[in-house]
């Protein structure tokens, strides 16, 4: 059976070689030297991919695992939380569950944020998956010029370049199965070596995940897949690639009467409104054509979301265009 073109924001289509590496990477002892070498290769590739500096901690789990590890291990009392959607709300809930003192600013778009020169520590979601809105680090630095940032980069890492703002990044978290185009199973945190580490948890405490340490078993097959996928993307300017994909998608859809609802559309996920069908009708129509999309923005009629993360996005774009064109004729 042929795999579908996954336009959901992860897990997404991976390359054939990434799948092979995952399959062959299962029978490995995680305490052996060759496995440790793979971890070192991944850390090096991740720092190169994002043009970053700092520790790279790899945990068994999802993007939320990495997010919880970052917040509970590194965020001090008094952190300002930007809640711009479902995933900002999730972070706010983590702060509450662990009793970490924080304040909250609710936002719909980065443009509506008010400059705050007093904020010292700020948490935000870079690409808010639930809405398709982008909160760029450049914009956040303008709004909070004296702050350092904790960034949920789950739907952004692999499609962003942080090189100009290394000094402003306290930490960022993400996972293996989105813009890096690998398989699920790993949460990752890149963090400033000089940060204080708080012991608020056991399994996700980043004090246990410093380079050279392997406190718990990692899914070996996911490590093998990520090692291959991350090395492929190590020095590419992936931000340019994802920007081109987003712009091509928006331009093509606009000609069909499918309009984006985003003011600052993320380059990895964009929200649209269909002129004819509601989400469920459109989803079912496209599935029959071998394409999977994602549910819309709550409260917005006929909305749906499309991700640009798939390795099939470019080679199958004509198929994507044809299917959406047909949907507008129904």
| Two structure tokens written together for 267 | 């380059």
CATH of the domain at 122: 3.40.640.10
| pLDDT at residue 177 tops 70 | yes
- pLDDT score at 23: 72
Instruction: Decide which of 183, 204, 233 is a domain's last residue.
Output: 233
Q: Mark whether 308 and 185 lie in a shared domain.
A: no
| pLDDT at residue 17 tops 60 | yes
272: phi then psi, degrees, rounded to nearest 5? -130, 165
Tens digit of each residue's pLDDT (9 = 90 or more) over 100-125 = 999 999 999 999 999 999 999 999 99
Listed in sequence order, the residues at least 6 apart from 255 whose beta carbon sits closer than 8 Å to its beta carbon are: none
In percent, how much of the chain has pLDDT > 70?
Answer: 98
Instruction: Decide which of 190, 218, 233 is a domain's last residue.
Output: 233
Please give the average per-residue pLDDT across 183-209, as a whole number.
Answer: 96
- pLDDT score at 35: 86
Please give the average per-residue pLDDT across 207-227, as a whole number.
Answer: 89
Q: Mark whether 93 and 142 lie in a shared domain.
A: yes
- pLDDT score at 1: 56
- pLDDT score at 234: 66
Range of the domain at 317: 5-10+238-327
> CA 248, CA 242: separation in Å to the nearest integer?
10
> CA 1, CA 153: separation in Å to the nearest integer?
33
> CA 270, CA 266: separation in Å to the nearest integer?
6
pLDDT band at 173 (very low <50, low <70, confident <90, very high): very high
Tens digit of each residue's pLDDT (9 = 90 or more) over 247-291 = 999 999 999 999 999 999 999 999 999 999 999 999 999 999 999
> For the chain, how many structural domains are there in total?
2
Tens digit of each residue's pLDDT (9 = 90 or more) over 38-81 = 999 999 999 998 999 999 999 999 999 999 999 999 999 999 99
Tens digit of each residue's pLDDT (9 = 90 or more) over 123-152 = 999 999 999 999 999 999 999 999 999 999
């Amino acid at each position: 059976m042929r795999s579908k073109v996954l336009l959901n924001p992860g897990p997404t289509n991976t390359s054939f070689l990434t799948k092979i590496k995952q399959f062959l990477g299962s029978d490995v002892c995680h305490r052996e030297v060759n496995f440790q070498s793979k971890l070192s290769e991944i850390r090096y590739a991740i720092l190169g991919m994002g043009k970053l500096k700092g520790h790279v901690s790899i945990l068994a789990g999802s993007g939320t695992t990495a997010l919880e590890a970052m917040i509970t291990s590194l965020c001090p009392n008094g952190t300002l939380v930007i809640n711009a959607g479902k995933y900002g709300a999730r972070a706010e809930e983590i702060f509450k569950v662990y009793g970490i003192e924080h304040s909250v600013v609710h936002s719909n778009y980065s443009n509506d944020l008010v400059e705050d020169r007093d904020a010292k520590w700020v948490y935000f979601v870079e690409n808010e998956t639930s809405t398709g809105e982008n909160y760029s680090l450049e914009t956040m630095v303008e709004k909070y010029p004296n702050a350092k940032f904790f960034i949920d980069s789950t739907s952004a890492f692999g499609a962003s370049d942080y090189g100009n703002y290394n000094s402003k990044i306290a930490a960022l978290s993400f996972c293996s199965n989105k813009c890096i185009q690998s398989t699920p199973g790993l949460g990752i945190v890149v963090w400033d070596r000089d940060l204080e580490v708080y012991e608020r948890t056991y399994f996700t405490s980043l004090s246990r995940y410093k380079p050279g340490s392997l406190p718990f078993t990692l899914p070996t097959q996911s490590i093998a897949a990520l090692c291959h996928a991350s090395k492929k993307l190590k020095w590419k300017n992936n931000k340019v690639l994802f920007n081109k994909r987003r712009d091509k998608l928006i331009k093509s859809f606009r000609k069909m009467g499918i309009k984006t609802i985003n003011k600052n559309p993320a380059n990895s996920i964009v929200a649209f409104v269909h002129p004819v069908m509601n989400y469920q009708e459109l989803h079912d129509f496209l599935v029959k054509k071998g394409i999977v999309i994602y549910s819309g923005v709550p409260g917005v009629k006929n909305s749906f979301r499309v991700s640009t993360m798939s390795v099939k996005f470019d080679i199958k774009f004509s198929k994507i265009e044809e299917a959406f064109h047909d949907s507008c004729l129904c």
